[in-house]
Chain A
Amino acid sequence: MNGAPRIAPAGARQLDANIPSGPIPEKWDRCRFDSKLVNPANRRKFTVIIVGTGLAGGAAAATLGEAGYNVLSFCIQDSPRRAHSIAAQGGINAAKNYRNDGDSITRLFYDTVKGGDYRAREANVHRLAEVSVGIIDQSVAQGVPFAREYGGLLDNRSFGGAQVSRTFYARGQTGQQLLLGAYQAMMRQVGAGTVKLFPRYEMLDLVVVDGRARGIIARNLVTGAIERFQADAVLLATGGYGNAYFLSTNAVNSNATAIWRAYKRGALFANPCFTQIHPTCIPVSGEHQSKLTLMSESLRNDGRVWVPKRGGDTRPATQIPEDERDYYLERRYPAFGNLVPRDVASRAAKAVCDEGRGVGETGLSVYLDFAESIGRLGEDVIRERYGNLFQMYEKITDENPYKTPMRIYPAIHYTMGGLWVDYNLMSTVPGLFVLGEANFSDHGANRLGASALMQGLADGYFVAPATLPHYLAGASLPRISTDHDAFREAETAVRSKIDRLLAVKGRRTPRDIHRTLGRLLWDNVGMGRTEERLKLALAGIPGLREEFWATVSVPGSGAEMSQVLEYAGRVADYLELGELIALDALERRESCGGHFREEYQTPDNEALRDDESFTHVAAWEYAGDGALPVRNVEPLAFEYVKPSQRSYK
């Protein structure tokens, strides 16, 4: 494999991450000091489009609205409060060190760089750790009902990949409460007139004028009308692309269309193969399944993961004696035990299932057992900590986890890859900023638990509101109207794509084809990847794409509310994006974090990085339909956290 010819053309493009100079703890301060500012009286003259209303988009809309900008906020749901951030369960990290257990900004920075398997940009991660403390303060002030101790102080819990307790939480609904905090702040600005809401609107293209992002084309999902919106900058906060795999823990409407269409307008797509497979999801039960449900990582604080020692052991869990169980995480990783990071826990689950020791009807699950904790702490304590999760589990599986162990299996959960951004969160299209999960910047090859909420809110409350003014104040942004040729051309492209979808009039449903794509990706670009299987995926996807365009059925006219049309457009994009994920996975000939190439592993089956060849970001550049995209490289430098074999033993 080594020395084999490259499949994708290597780009010559110089990617400047615009990292401020100076020692890492001073970079963010220096960036803010060096930024140009926009006079408060001039801010209302700038229009900013924000697509997506999750933690990143909602927080950015609220903050930019408060600052006085004219904000247009778009979401595909009926209300901004539905964004998928709402489903995050376990918590949010912050380097408060309220527990006096040795935490600090430096330690959160270190844990996150290490957790990301040395594939994140150090300067971004340090800034994330710095602003984490302000996020907690902001959310508390908004009235987010975080868990408290008896003395009235904020409570913390532990999460994977850390040996300190730095995770703040609101029962198992932390994402919901943080999102409602951001949403309420944003609705306050709606009331004040600085933010205008466009619910049930889907962005279908980015409009680039004279090389700058100047607007979007969006479809009104109620009437079907295609509308043009112009602005001085566009912020995408549209989340990840995990739904390319069909079954994931994402909401069913979460999609990659906004970032994918921006990619086709010149924004580079970074590290698409860095996908996170979450170890604790409720296993698949049948063909009808529309999504997978996560069981929060926080459960691993009190649950012990095991499988029978012997393969083919079909006894019920409670009848398998203690000495015939293999608590494989505790055995393999004594220092971190059940709280190893997600990539490590997922691979370990796959390994025991591959050995034939998996449990349940399909053999594709492992036990997460609370019997020991219930015995030690009592059922009431467990109920108080995880009651809503246990209830959710019982609803879905019809099994009582207080009596019998949960069954869990890994599933696609989060995507570390996303649109490439510089330190200022600006993509390679000037004026196009990308926030939250939609960008690639902070988590490297693996995200630690409770860090997605932190990053979304960091980007939305603190980073973009500080870096956007610098762009607005420095760029030449002549007034344009939506009659500009660039708008007309983009609208025509959107309309013709919709017309094409409607014209096929085949017999296969978008879901059916999406399911086929998902299986192809899960089997070949999932937890364990090999050159052979990646090539299988790359050989299979183009045919499936042709089949889609020849056989898809999209009933109706498009001039009305049509969920099947929305879905078909998203599937068309997954059929292109899936290929890029596989291509990136093929080109990255090493294992790191969530990207595990079976050819590259240590003797004890841990991920084996190739720092010499791959200490870089792969940033893919669209080169036209049918042409291979160009692989550009942003080298990564690790000055503060020296890369080592990541060990949780």
Chain B
Amino acid sequence: MNLTLRVWRQGGSFGDGRMVPYEARDVSPDMSFLELLDVVNEQLIAGGEPPVVFDSDCREGICGMCSLVVNGVPHGPDRGSTVCQLHMRKFKDGDTITVEPWRAAAFPVQRDLVVDRGAFDRLIASGGYVSVNTGSAPDGNAILVAKDLAEAAMDAAACIGCGACVAACKNASASLFVGAKVSQLALLPQGHPERASRVTSMVQTMDALGFGNCSNEAECEAVCPKEISIANIGRMRREYLRALVIGPGR
């Protein structure tokens, strides 16, 4: 099939950007969306033109590096999928497709479709862990975890840190990302000693980094490639309230 792409090009963090059209001919329906961009780039490079810069790595939906807004939707039209797993069979011959970067104050564009998501690392550094030094752990089976709790923790832990939730949110809130990590570690007994301090620190850091607040529109859940539930945002709020009552030092 033949397609027209309208792609956001921006020289650097401070440059002006604009949409640039590209024609893609003889596109195979078995191609992934990123492989389509590869083909467009091959033509640009062979012609001595700077290719479209975009992030990707594992190309199997787990590393969280790819980050494109396709036709206005983070990761494109396929639900529960990263854009690297979006295949061209989801499009029709003659379609025009717009491709843009994540847009959020906390995720500045670095070039073309690439943004800086270092804010997510800073959120994890502010408390998204269990404080356990290497070598000091008890036997793995000394900590019992009920199967349903382990499954619920795993549902939250499946977050790949791509940032689509932020890109989809009109407030650019990181609540789903923070909620998922807070939930995982609040559900598991290993996370309990730092339960209050963790949620307090992560929520405050989220505000300080320029992410907005959550207004319950669930657009994050709709675009999340791992279909992380907004129930995790609810749990984050309950954890935060609990911390306010018992004190963040606990």
**Hey, which bits of chain A sit against chain B, CB under 8 A?**
59, 62-63, 66, 77-82, 84, 86-87, 96, 98, 134, 136-143, 145-154, 168, 170-171, 173, 176-177, 180, 183-185, 187-188, 190-191, 197, 199, 222, 251-254, 285-286, 288-291, 293-294, 392, 395-396, 398, 461-462, 465, 505, 507-512, 553-556, 560-564
Question: B121 to A137, Cβ gap below 8 A?
Answer: no
Inside 8 A of A187's CB, which chain B residues have their CB? 121, 124-125, 128-129
Question: 13 pairs across A/B with beta carbons < 8 Å?
Answer: A63-B133, A77-B57, A78-B65, A80-B121, A141-B143, A145-B150, A146-B140, A151-B144, A190-B125, A286-B28, A398-B89, A553-B45, A554-B45
Question: B190 to A143, Cβ gap below 8 A?
Answer: yes
Inside 8 A of A137's CB, which chain B residues have their CB? 137-140
CA distance A77 to B59 in the complex (A): 14
CA distance A399 to B157 in the complex (A): 28
Question: B188 to A555, Cβ gap below 8 A?
Answer: no
B131 interface residue, CB < 8 Å from A? yes
Give the shortest distance, in Å, between B87 (CB) and chain A (any CB). Answer: 7
Give the shortest distance, in Å, between A601 (CB) and chain B (any CB). Answer: 34
Q: In the complex, which residues 22-79 of chain B have their Cβ closer than 8 Å to any Cβ of chain A?
A: 28, 30-32, 34-36, 38-39, 41-42, 44-46, 48-51, 53, 55-65, 78
Given known A141-B190, A290-B35, contact A81–B64 (CB-CB < 8 A) = yes
Question: A290 to B38, Cβ gap below 8 A?
Answer: yes
Given A80, A142, A290, A465, which contacts B132 in the complex, CB threshold below 8 Å?
Answer: A142
B211 interface residue, CB < 8 Å from A? no
CA distance A148 to B18 in the complex (A): 51
What is the size, in residues, of chain B's interface with A at 8 Å between Cβ atoms?
80
Minimum CB distance partner of B190 in chain A: A143
Question: B121 to A153, Cβ gap below 8 A?
Answer: no
Q: In the complex, which residues 86-134 of chain B have their Cβ closer than 8 Å to any Cβ of chain A?
A: 87, 89, 110-111, 114, 116-118, 120-121, 124-134
Inside 8 A of B126's CB, which chain A residues have their CB? 191
CA distance A561 to B121 in the complex (A): 21
Inside 8 A of A139's CB, which chain B residues have their CB? 140
B218 interface residue, CB < 8 Å from A? no
Given A148, A183, A555, which contacts B146 in the complex, CB threshold below 8 Å?
Answer: A148
Give the shortest distance, in Å, between B185 (CB) and chain A (any CB). Answer: 5
Question: A199 to B87, Cβ gap below 8 A?
Answer: no
In the complex, given contacts A80-B121, A138-B132, A153-B141, what are 17 additional A-B residue pairs having Cβ atoms less than 8 angstroms apart? Answer: A79-B64, A82-B58, A82-B63, A87-B62, A141-B143, A143-B188, A148-B146, A177-B157, A180-B157, A190-B125, A252-B58, A286-B31, A290-B32, A512-B42, A555-B51, A561-B12, A561-B110
Inside 8 A of A147's CB, which chain B residues have their CB? 150
Main secondary structure of the interface of B (DSSP, over half): loop
Given known A86-B62, A138-B135, A560-B111, contact A79–B121 (CB-CB < 8 A) = yes
Given A77, A185, A222, which contacts B65 in the complex, CB threshold below 8 Å?
Answer: A77
Question: A146 to B150, Cβ gap below 8 A?
Answer: yes
Question: A555 to B49, Cβ gap below 8 A?
Answer: yes
Inside 8 A of A84's CB, which chain B residues have their CB? 57-58, 63
Inside 8 A of A153's CB, which chain B residues have their CB? 141, 144
The 4 residue pairs across chains A and B that have the minimum distance between CB atoms: A152-B144, A141-B137, A184-B129, A191-B125
Minimum CB distance partner of A147 in chain B: B150
Give the shortest distance, in Å, between B143 (CB) and chain A (any CB). Answer: 6
Minimum CB distance partner of B45 in chain A: A509
Given known A66-B134, A87-B60, A143-B184, contact A78–B117 (CB-CB < 8 A) = yes
Give the shortest distance, in Å, between A85 (CB) and chain B (any CB). Answer: 10
CA distance A176 to B143 in the complex (A): 21
Question: B129 to A82, Cβ gap below 8 A?
Answer: no
Given B58, B114, B191, which contacts A561 in the complex, CB threshold below 8 Å?
Answer: B114
Given A188, A197, A392, which contacts B85 in the complex, CB threshold below 8 Å?
Answer: A392
Give the shortest distance, in Å, between A96 (CB) and chain B (any CB). Answer: 7
Question: B190 to A140, Cβ gap below 8 A?
Answer: yes
